């Protein structure tokens, strides 16, 4: 008569209660995964083989496995919080440089600008160059930028306008900035020099005859081109075909992709180029006095694109007026896109990539070794990680401002606790019964 079976049952039930208790304790821990005690029966091995009537000698806990099913995703107010919607683990480098893995996306910045978790482990990813291009080499700790964005000189302008074919030719033989009768309409735009200093350009459109227009440009109120007498000189002549205002299917005029002919002129007013693309380049913009009293830098010839402009029997209108320059900007915020791109946004309206988060996946996640703090280490059983960016292949996407809750079902754990308690009581009862039987034998006289 033995107590081995009941004793092993007590040990197994106690171990099961430990696992359940750990699950209950971590039911509110972000990124935590439910654990399960797995049991096996135990038989004594005899020389020559086991008998078919052999009685087992108890139970053993063979493994405590974690289930990596996804938990619910909840929104937070912290843009640095990240949740993986799908497969994958965040890669972290701890204080010793060892790689660890986690599903807990509670990240923040340290004093050096690195993205870290509560243990100080650094999030790994790809860095970006000064132009915002991602350098997909060996993953390294992500460090967010602190510097502002440099300015960019304007080198292209896109003017998309509707010219009024009903307009009468302007009075006079040239533009007079003081006389609005010498031009038909005007529009303004801000451009930037190499220092990011803004300069105001004004475009004057002057109709000379049917379907023919002259374009004049002033910079901060000063004509860009003048003749010997100081009078403004046109920078371009725009000519539309007579059918340019008819919305037909015939390939005519800018409406159907054949822009009006544009001729550019030098400072003396002589034509220097003729093109049918609707694209021309104006002369260099010289140094100008700024409103602050300083001087601007020279802006090399800007390419103008009027190829999408049209001439119709309708009022003048500007449908698109864009340019490529911008002033310097200060870093306003950093956001993380679903594909892991860390996007820096600046006060000048520009944004560029500062890096990209890299994720890891394993063929056998249950082979990972728990390290505590919602971190795991790779093992021989888990296999080597497969590294790629979010959304690539079977890798999940990132949700910024969100966290993955524990996948522990508290109701199920409480029911499992009752079952484990009953199992413990039943095994204790077998030991009690064995004790009573033994006592009966001892009392035989």
Per-residue pLDDT of 407-424, as tens digits, reads 998 999 999 999 988 988
241 vs 254, more confident: 241
List of residues 6+ apart from 276 with CB closer than 8 A: 258, 259, 261
> pLDDT by residue (tens digit) across 334-344?
889 999 999 98
The CATH number that domain 156-323 falls under is 2.60.98.20
Among 94, 80, 88, 77, which Cα is nearest to 31's? 88
Percent of the chain with pLDDT over 70: 89
**pTM assigned to the model:** 0.73
User: Which segment of 35-44, 94-103, 314-323 scores lowest on mean pLDDT?
Assistant: 35-44
Instruction: Report the distance separating Cα 61 and Cα 38, nearest Å.
Output: 6
> pLDDT by residue (tens digit) across 50-97?
566 677 788 888 888 888 989 999 999 888 999 999 999 999 998 888
Residue 168 has pLDDT above 90, yes or no: yes
Residue 243 has pLDDT above 70, yes or no: no
Instruction: Report the distance separating Cα 27 and Cα 408, nearest Å.
Output: 5
DSSP state of 120: -
Given this model, what pLDDT does residue 314 score? 87
Where are the domains positioned within the chain?
A: 4-69+407-442, 73-149+331-404, 156-323
Given this model, what pLDDT does residue 259 score? 46
Given this model, what pLDDT does residue 258 score? 40
Among 390, 337, 338, which Cα is nearest to 361's? 390
- The Cα angle at residue 412 between residues 410 and 417, in degrees rounded to 5: 95
Q: Which residue has the tokens 């971190």?
A: 375
The answer to whether residues 358 and 124 touch, using CB atoms and an 8 Å cutoff, is yes
Given this model, what pLDDT does residue 303 score? 87
Burial of 345 (0-12, 13-18, 19+ CB in 10 A): middle
- Residue 313 CB coordination number (10 Å): 10
Instruction: Report the distance separating Cα 201 and Cα 191, nearest Å.
Output: 7
Tokens of 281: 């380049």
Given this model, what pLDDT does residue 256 score? 31
Mean pLDDT across the chain, nearest whole number? 85
DSSP state of 301: P
Q: Which residue has the tokens 């039943």?
A: 426
Q: What is the mean pLDDT of residues 144-160?
A: 88
211 vs 45, more confident: 211
Given this model, what pLDDT does residue 49 score? 58
């Amino acid at each position: 008569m033995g107590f081995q079976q009941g004793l092993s049952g007590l040990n197994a039930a106690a171990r099961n209660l430990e696992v359940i208790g750990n699950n209950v304790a971590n039911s509110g821990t972000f990124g935590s995964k439910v654990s399960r005690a797995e049991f096996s029966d135990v038989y004594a091995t005899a020389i020559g083989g086991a008998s078919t009537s052999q009685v087992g000698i108890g139970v053993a806990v063979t493994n405590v496995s974690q289930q990596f099913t996804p938990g619910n995703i909840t929104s937070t107010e912290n843009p640095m919080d990240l949740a993986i919607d799908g497969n994958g683990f965040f890669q972290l480098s701890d204080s010793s440089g060892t790689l660890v893995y986690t599903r807990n996306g509670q990240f923040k910045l340290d004093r050096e600008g690195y993205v870290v978790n509560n243990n100080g482990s650094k999030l790994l990813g790809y860095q970006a160059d000064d132009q915002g291009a991602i350098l997909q080499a060996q993953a390294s700790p992500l460090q967010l930028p602190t510097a502002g964005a440099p300015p960019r000189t304007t080198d292209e302008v896109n003017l998309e306008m509707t010219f009024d074919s009903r307009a009468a030719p302007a009075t006079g033989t040239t533009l007079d900035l003081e006389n609005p009768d010498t031009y038909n309409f005007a529009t303004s735009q801000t451009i930037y020099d190499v220092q990011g200093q803004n300069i105001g350009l004004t475009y004057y459109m002057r109709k000379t005859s049917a379907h023919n227009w002259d374009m004049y440009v002033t910079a901060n109120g000063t004509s860009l081109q003048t003749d010997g007498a100081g009078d403004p000189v046109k920078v371009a002549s725009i000519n539309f075909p007579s059918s340019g205002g008819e919305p037909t299917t015939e390939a005519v005029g800018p409406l159907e992709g054949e822009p009006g002919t544009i001729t550019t002129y030098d400072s003396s007013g002589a034509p220097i180029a003729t093109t049918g693309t609707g694209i021309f380049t104006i002369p260099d913009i010289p140094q100008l006095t700024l409103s602050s009293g300083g001087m601007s830098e020279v802006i090399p010839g800007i390419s103008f694109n009027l190829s999408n402009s049209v001439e119709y029997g309708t009022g003048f209108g500007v449908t698109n007026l864009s340019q490529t320059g911008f002033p310097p900007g200060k870093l306003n915020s950093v956001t993380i896109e679903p594909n892991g791109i860390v996007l820096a946004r600046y006060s000048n309206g520009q944004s560029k990539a500062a890096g990209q988060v890299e994720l890891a996946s394993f063929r056998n996640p249950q082979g990972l070794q728990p390290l505590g703090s919602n971190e795991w280490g790779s093992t021989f059983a888990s296999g080597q990680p497969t590294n790629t960016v979010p959304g690539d292949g079977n890798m999940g996407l990132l949700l910024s401002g969100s966290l993955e809750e524990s996948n522990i079902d508290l109701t199920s754990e409480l029911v499992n606790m009752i079952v484990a308690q009953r199992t413990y009581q039943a095994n204790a009862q077998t030991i009690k019964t064995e004790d009573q039987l033994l006592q009966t034998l001892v009392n035989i006289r």
